[in-house]
Structure formats: structure tokens, C-alpha cells
Amino acid sequence: MIQPTPRGADPETIRSEILEKLCYSIGKDPAVAKRHDWLNATILALRDRIIDRWMESTRAAYHAKAKRVYYLSLEFLIGRLLRDAMSNLELTGAFTEALAALNVDIDLIEALEPDAALGNGGLGRLAACFMESMASLDIPAYGYGIRYNFGLFRQKITDGWQVELPENWLEHGNPWEFARREAAYEIGFGGQVVPGLDTGNRQQRRWRPAEKMLASAYDTPMVGWRGKRVNTLRLWTARAPDPIRLDAFNSGDYQAALAESNKAEILTRVLYPADSTAAGQELRLRQEYFFTSASLQDIIRRHMQQYDEVRSLADKVAIQLNDTHPAIAVAELMRILVDHHGLDWDQAWEITKATIGYTNHTLLPEALESWPVHLFEHVLPRHMQIIYTINARLIADAQKRPDSTPDFLASVSLIDENNGRRVRMGQLAFVGSHSINGVSALHTALMKQSVFRDLNTLYPGRINNKTNGITPRRWLLEANPQLAALLNETVGQSVLDDAERLVKATGHATDSAFQQRFAAIKRQNKDELANLISARMGIKVDPAAMFDVHVKRIHEYKRQLLNILETIALYNAIRAHPDRPWAPRVKIFAGKAAASYTQAKLIIKLINDVAAVINNDPDIRDLLKVVFLPNFNVSLAEVIVPAADLSEQISTAGMEASGTGNMKFALNGAITIGTLDGANIEIMEHVGKDNIVIFGMTADEVEEKRRGGYNAAATIEASPDLKDVLDALSSGVYSPGDMQRYRPIVDSLYNGDWFMVAADFNAYAQAQRNVANLWRRSQDWTEKTILNTVNMGWFSSDRTIRDYARDIWNVPVA
């Protein structure tokens, strides 16, 4: 075995390595090198150090015959990797000094690194945190996803409206990735299934796809804390077996010549193509099967290469499905085991269940994917047969119960017969997994009571809870290095090795000297965000004001609408009573709405219209400002999160699975205003009821109100402040020249209010007044923010991954 030459970690050695990369890999003389040249040279120099550890990690797992974890996710929101990798290798200082000796500012070149456009929100960021924690805990793991050319989209705000543009993050290449030509797998679609005989003369079905394409792998190293382990993120891109039909090209039919190539490349162009059309639905299904099939083929190829048989798969492989998108893995693994490896059905089914675990992230029906049966039969005919067989056995199990009824059978069935016959992918994932976990205590309880109630009755014991977490290396050390240093100094040990050590700083919450240092760090972070807002938006905000932050995917259940309506009510109150001691406040919003989600995009427009009025009202001065920051991503979050004073976590109770933004903000010293939803409940239990602002209905109360014939119109009429706000929207105060612009929003509240915006409005407004009163007591405020930070150690993704490793994957951790 070739051992790598040890590399010096001193700035002079690193300086020489950067210069070597600049010259021989980038091909630039330092005298003419641009910032992007220095960025790539720096990444390549750092990457070389990672490769040594990467290869050693892979070899060690192979020789130890270690069980590997495979994490399948349609999203990996990894953000920029330079700072992350330097930090985890403890080389930030050395690289900073080396670059400074070359007259290069590391902050300036780091800002040029594009965020990898591989995700949208919490689902993808959670996957990224989990990859980092698995490496930090020395768990051999692979992440599998798609190498999107353009990700979701780059958000631009034009006249207040969201405009979607391509996020061309690969335009100048990706220095972190390695193409793996040997890891290419054939993926089929359509065609027919024909009967035949296997080598043992047994009946066997063979799928003959009508079309085929190739999945090719690109690997990115994922570095754990202190470089303990480097794992692999493997992303798939699609290509045609024949990139061009020369006969068609030479005959002048250029479109036909490239048709197959274009059809393949479309699969990996964008994340979440709109599925409002039949073509969009088929593309989504193809995309999900494409990456799942390639991943499973790769997993089994690796297993066979080492063990030469598949019967031990569950002993050496743990596959975790991150939400419902890869649920087709259940049918695909069965197809591979039965059709290609000759296992009988019962044996293959036991291996499949023992190998796969399923994480559910939502109770929303639209996110628990289902596909029309006719579409499934057209795109994946063999898998449809397998699903029918699974379903027949499932129904047979259900019929054995003495309390079985037709309604019970319909509820557990993989085929929804009531909505045009659809395949329920969440049900498939449940039935084909040995473990089904929720991501907060409330969410897990609601899973048992709602979407999986009858399946939980049929197969008790499979559902368990694994409350989400965040990596403190990214969200404390990298996002807020001064606070990390203060906490390490105070605790006397590295909180980054064990975040639960944070609680040792609890006694300092009332120490005035510590409070001053803590508050000074917060102020410096707010200065940085204020400068960013000024540079990007041309809006001057006062860092001394409360930074009231609501940043997340724009969705009605996340209730950005509730926030902006209360903001209008606050604006009205300030104008009516300018003599009152108002707490100056900056309302900061950010987030993307799905391209086809009309109501969410209208909410973005409303926020910007309200901002235009409030920010240009001289009578308000600096008492209230409203800012919507476009194109929210990981890098922007790393500036916003440490600067937040108030964290808005105000989803309709019972609809947010967990949330991880709530954890990031609380860890960085923001007070949460929120409902008893998702992980807010567990945050309250850890930080204390006096250190979080809870308002509104519980999940049970929401459900009771919906069942009881809730009269939203009467609720609005009984709330003068809310009625005034909605009257202003209806009369065009915030949409001059277009009085009907906000009619859909007003109508949605009067005629149903499914997301309980009106129902919770008064409670939310009162909670905000309580927040303002607390803000004016600065010492009390700072004490509570400190108590939030020091009690958030339990929400480390290291703790979450240890729970997965122990309870689901059966793998050891460091």
C-alpha cells in the first residue's frame, strides 16, 4: 500500500502548494492571476490534503468489513465547501496566513465560491448536516443524490415579484468533484415485461425497457470534524448511451440527432421540475427512479465486489431514505434481488425490509407523493407488477386481523382507489422498511395518529422518533466564530467535539461581564448583516434595532402571511400612537416559493409591497423597516442566523415536521417566537418556558377547530386590527392601481382560513407586544438569549446520528 507523504500544516508549506496549483493546475502566473484563479488554486491545494484522508477512510472501511450507511436524498444543500473543509481540518488559520503572504484576502476569494445548487430548504440542509456528522463520528457512509445543472432556481425580485432564473453553479466547473467513469449504470424506462426461465428452470419475469440511459457518478469528499473521516457524496448525472445519431445529423435532421441526448440531460437539469402538467409528473417520476436505481446498483456492485453474495446485504448495508422521493427503492431493490440475483420472493422481501429505513418529513398530502397508476405502468412496468404483489400480500396480512374492515383495507393499501387510482409512495416506503422515523416528538406522534395510523396498527413498533439536529461546526464555528471562541473559553473544552458541553456555561447567563461580551458579538454580527442589506438592497437599517427574522421556504403553513399582516397592524399602531415607547424593529424575510405555487408568490409580492410603503414613510423613521432578501441560500443564512434577535417559527401547529432553522437561530442566541409545533416543543423543554415566546393553538386545537366548522369570517370581524389590515389590502393601499391584487389572500382568510392565520392573529400580536416589552429590558433579554445558546447542545446532528446508528442502522460510532 502506498502511504502518502506527510504534509506540513505550516503557512509556508501551504503557500508553496497554492503556488504550485496556480501554476501547474490553473496555468496562471501569480502576477496576472485573478481572484477566481486564487480560489481554485486554494481549493485544489486543500483538496489534495483531503484526498489522503479520503483514501485512507475508504481503505479502512474495506479492510474492517465495516457496515456502510447509504443516505439517499433528492437534496443535499451543502453550501460552500472551502471554509467548511478548512475548518474541519483545522487549517483555516494556516491557509489564511499563507494567502495573506501572497497578498490574497481569503474572505474575498471565498465569496466567489458558488453555493452548490443541490437543494432548496430544510430537507437538503439536514442531509448536509448528517453527512458531516457521520464523517465526524467515524461512520463509513455514502450520500447519494443528483448532480443538478441548475438546482431549483436563482431567485430575483423584480417589481416585488419573484422571478425564477437558472442557478448556473457549474458554469465554471466544480473543483471539488471527481468524475468516476467506471461508476456508470444503465437505467431503463417503459417497455414491457416478458416471462422466461432462470438458470434453475424457474419462472422468471424479465423487464425489457423501451429506452435506456446511463447514470454517471461524480464524487465529492465530505470532511468530518478534525479530519477523523472523509466520506463520499456521490451525485448522478444522466447521458444517452449514444450522444449523437450521426445518420440523422448527416441527413440534416439535427433535432432528431440530439433527441436522445437531450432527453437524458433533461433528467438532471433542475430540482423539483413543476409537476402541474402530465409531462412534469413523468419527469419527476423518472428523476426519482433514475437516481434511486443508479444508487442501488452501485450499492449492490460494491457489496458483491467485497462479499460475492447478496444474502448478507442487510448485515453490511443500511439504506436510509430521506423522505418519500426515493421510496421506489423498495420496488427496485426487490427487482434486483429477484430478477437479477435469483432470490425467492420471501427471502428478497426480508432482506429489503432489513436493509431499508425511511425518514418521513411531512404530514402534508402533496409531499407524501403518489403517482397515477397508468403513469407508473407506462414508465416502470416491472415495478408496478412488484408493487401489486407487495400490495396483495399487505392486504392479506390486513385481512387476518379480526377487526379488519373495508375502510381499514383501503387505508393501508398501496393503491389509492378514491382519487383516480394512484400509487402511494409513502405507504410503499413504510411497508418496505424495518424502521419509519419522524423528526420531532410531535411529528412522530402525529404520524401514528394520522397518515400512518392504520399501518402502525398493522405493523406496530416500526415507527420511532429521531429529532433532527444541526452540525455545530457549520452553524456555530463557521457562522459565528467569535461566539464559538467565547463558549470554548468559558467551558474550558471544545464544544465542537461535544455540543452538550454548552450547558456548562449556564451559570454565566447572569454574569454582567459575560453578557457584555455575548451582546458585543451579537452587535458585530448585526453590523455585518446591516452592511449586506445596504449593499444588496440599498436599505439602511439600524443595527441597534431588534432584528426580527423569518427566513425559510415560502409556504402558507409556515405563515409568512401571519407575520406580514401583523407587521401592517404594527405599522398602523405606530402611526396612530407615535408617542408610545415602541421597540425599533427590522423585519427580515427571505425564502423561495415553488415556481408553480401562486399563493406563496403572491405573499412574497405582498411583503415587498408592504416594505415599499413602510420604508418610505418618513413619519415612521427607524421604528420599523421591512426587508426581503432575495435568493436565500446557505451562504446568506450564515450571515443572517448569527445576527438574528428574534426567530420566527410560527407554523400552523401540527404542520411543521421539525424545523432546523429554529435550532440554528437559538444556538446563535436568538429568542424564538413560535407555536407548539415541530421541534419548537423540544426546544422549549430544553431552554425553559421562560426563555421562549409561545403563542397560538396546539395541534389538537387546530384539528378540533377544523372539525367543528370554524367560522373564519366571524373571527376576522371580531378582531378590529386584523379587519383593518385586510380592508387595507382590499382597498389597494399596498397595491395602488390594482385593487384586486390581494383578493386571493383576503378571500382565503374569509373563506376557510385553513392555515389558521386569522385564528391565531390576536395571540400572535399579543406575543409580539410581549417580545417588545422584553426587548426594552436589555439585561433580561441578553440573559434569555444566553440561556437559549447554552441549552441547545442536545440539538446537535451528532446526537441525532448517534440515535440513528444505535436504533436503526446498527453501526458503531466513535
C-beta separation of 247 from 94 below 8 A = no
- Whole-number Å distance between alpha carbons of 337 and 326: 18
Phi, psi of 273 (to 5 degrees): -60, 145
705 is catalytic: no
The three three-digit cell numbers of residue 287, written as one number: 428523476
DSSP for 571-586, written as a single string:
HHHHHH-TTS-PPPEE
Q: Taken in order 60, 10, 41, 150, is the CA torsion positive or negative?
A: positive
Of the candidates 328, 348, 353, the residue with the CA atom closest to the CA atom of residue 338: 348
If you count them, how many residues does the chain have? 814
C-beta separation of 593 from 145 below 8 A = no
- Give the long-range contacts of residues 534-540, CB within 8 A, separation 24 or more: 536/629, 536/630, 537/627, 537/629, 539/615, 539/625, 539/627
The three three-digit cell numbers of residue 372, written as one number: 397515477
588: left (phi over 0), alpha (psi -120 to 50) or beta: beta
Angle at 397 between CA 395 and CA 402, to 5 degrees: 105
Task: Identify the active-site residue in 325, 353, 501, 552.
Answer: 552
341 is catalytic: no
What is the separation of C-alpha 369 from the centre of its chain, rounded to a whole number of angstroms? 17
- Amino acid occupying residue 315: D
Helix, coil or strand: residue 426 = helix
660 is catalytic: yes
**What is the distance between the terminal CA atoms of the chain, rounded to a whole angstrom?**
25
C-beta separation of 86 from 117 below 8 A = no
**How many CB atoms sit inside 10 A of residue 229's CB?**
25
Helix, coil or strand: residue 232 = strand
C-beta separation of 218 from 179 below 8 A = yes
- Whole-number Å distance between alpha carbons of 225 and 795: 17
Task: Identify the active-site residue in 660, 672, 789, 800.
Answer: 660
- Whole-number Å distance between alpha carbons of 510 and 787: 9
The three three-digit cell numbers of residue 302, written as one number: 460494491
* Cβ neighbours for 471, distance < 8 A, ≥ 6 positions apart: 129, 132, 133, 136, 796, 797, 798
361 is catalytic: yes
C-beta separation of 18 from 99 below 8 A = yes
Query: For strand 546-551 and strand 463-465, is the pairing parallel, antiparallel, or unpaired?
Result: unpaired
Task: Identify the active-site residue in 234, 558, 585, 587.
Answer: 558
The three three-digit cell numbers of residue 512, written as one number: 454582567
DSSP for 175-199, written as a single string:
TT-EEEEEEEEEEEES-EEEEEE-T
Helix, coil or strand: residue 567 = helix
- Whole-number Å distance between alpha carbons of 670 and 139: 32
C-beta separation of 761 from 565 below 8 A = yes
- Whole-number Å distance between alpha carbons of 287 and 148: 11
Helix, coil or strand: residue 554 = coil
553 is catalytic: yes
664 is catalytic: yes
Task: Identify the active-site residue in 28, 361, 559, 605.
Answer: 361
C-beta separation of 347 from 311 below 8 A = yes
The three three-digit cell numbers of residue 644, written as one number: 438574528
Type and span of the H or E element at 142: strand 141-146
- Whole-number Å distance between alpha carbons of 251 and 232: 45
Of the candidates 584, 649, 597, the residue with the CA atom closest to the CA atom of residue 623: 584
- Whole-number Å distance between alpha carbons of 778 and 696: 26
The three three-digit cell numbers of residue 799, written as one number: 446526537
Task: Identify the active-site residue in 154, 284, 501, 664.
Answer: 664
The three three-digit cell numbers of residue 7, written as one number: 504534509
Task: Identify the active-site residue in 53, 422, 553, 784.
Answer: 553
Annotated catalytic residues are 361, 552-553, 558, 660, 664
